[in-house]
Amino acid sequence: MKEYRRALSIAGSDPSGGAGLQADLKTFSALGVYGTTAVVALVDENTQGVYGIHPVPDSFVAGQIRSVLGDIGTDAVKIGMLHGSSLIRTVLNTLREFPDVRDIVLDPVMVATSGDPLLESDAIGTLRDELIPYARVITPNLPEASMLLGAAVDCQDELEDAARDLSAKYGDAKVSVMLKAGHLDDDTLTDIFYNAETGRLLRLTSPRVRTVNTHGTGCTMSSAIAAWLARGAELDTAVANAKEYVAAAISAGADYRIGKGHGPVNHFHALWSR
């Protein structure tokens, strides 16, 4: 029998379809991976903002993860928005029940594209100190990296040291860091990937596309890395391929109009256009 390559998204639901587990499932599908989900929260949001978060009970989140991994299994996991300390610990402890699942990509989501907070302030330490060391890769943007490091990261020249320093906080855990440069205003975006397993640093460059359609880019990047890991790619290759996919999705979606705020990227740009 044939077998699918599989990826599990543990994330919140975005009813507008541009971010959260909806973006993750689109990305998995676009990259040839069978996607599963564990829903951690129902988020009331659209392209203009976040208006409410309805948490799923921790025990029910744990049940979803066990149901998927105990039956279907997975080749990689993407973790997105986890709004509180209790939920973070629940996800971590449940994943520990499946020690063979180690290709874990964590997007340390703290603030939405619209600027709305998505993580309770007292949960930042739990995310930083307990869950991040269990991940293989984390994908912070500059504000998130600044919060995790406790120091501002706000110019291109600081990114390489910041990626190394953030990884170094976790020592023997070997947490690799994909530091995204999208918050800079340069015409060329150079993301920095520090591979903690090899000590190698990659500079991943793409032209900036001037568009408001950037809703869900962080979700898409992390789920694309997870998809390529699920397909068996080496870590550097998975990250480089994900960067290429996201850059193309932003470019292909730049001229569309969906909603009145930050629209989505075009996840299926390689499959159809209009």
Q: For position 151, which CATH number holds? A: 3.40.1190.20
Mean pLDDT value of segment 149-168:
90
Contacts 24+ apart (CB under 8 A), 255-258: 255/211, 256/213, 258/18, 258/47, 258/213
Assess whether 261 carries a catalytic annotation. Answer: no
- Return the bridge partners of 192, or none: 179, 203
How far apart are alpha carbons 123 and 270 in whole angstroms? 38
Position 115 scores a pLDDT of 63
Of the chain, the end-to-end C-alpha distance in Å amounts to 36
Q: What percent of the chain has pLDDT over 70?
A: 96
Domain range for 156 is 6-253
Q: Given 35, 216, 253, 263, which residue is catalytic?
A: 216
Mean pLDDT value of segment 127-147:
94
How far apart are alpha carbons 53 and 62 in whole angstroms? 19
Assess whether 259 carries a catalytic annotation. Answer: no
Do the domain assignments include residue 1? no
Q: Given 113, 180, 243, 263, which residue is catalytic?
A: 180
Do the domain assignments include residue 24? yes
Q: Identify the CA nearest to 49 among candidates 87, 96, 15.
A: 15
Q: How many CA atoms lie within 13 A of 91 on its CB side?
A: 32
Q: Given 37, 47, 126, 217, which residue is catalytic?
A: 217
Q: Given 18, 84, 218, 253, which residue is catalytic?
A: 218
- Residue 55 near residue 250 (C-beta atoms within 8 A): no
Assess whether 180 carries a catalytic annotation. Answer: yes
Q: Is the pLDDT of residue 63 over 70?
A: yes
Do the domain assignments include residue 244? yes
Q: Is the pLDDT of residue 203 over 80?
A: yes
* E strand intervals along the chain: 6-13, 34-45, 50-55, 76-79, 104-106, 137-138, 176-179, 188-195, 200-207
pTM for the complete prediction?
A: 0.96
Mean residue pLDDT across the chain: 93
Radius of gyration of the chain (CA): 17
Identify the band that residue 48 occupies on the pLDDT scale cut at 50, 70 and 90.
Answer: very high
Assess whether 155 carries a catalytic annotation. Answer: no
Q: In what order do the strands lie in the sheet with 176-179?
A: 50-55, 34-45, 6-13, 76-79, 104-106, 137-138, 176-179, 188-195, 200-207
Position 225 scores a pLDDT of 98
Do the domain assignments include residue 112? yes
Do the domain assignments include residue 143? yes
Burial of 45 (0-12, 13-18, 19+ CB in 10 A): buried
Do the domain assignments include residue 266? no
Q: Given 18, 214, 243, 263, which residue is catalytic?
A: 214
Do the domain assignments include residue 265? no
Position 113 scores a pLDDT of 60
Collapsing DSSP to helix, strand or coil, 42 comes out as strand
Do the domain assignments include residue 236? yes
CA torsion sign for 57, 14, 187, 223 is positive
Work out how many domains the chain is built from and give that number: 1
Q: Given 219, 220, 243, 253, which residue is catalytic?
A: 219
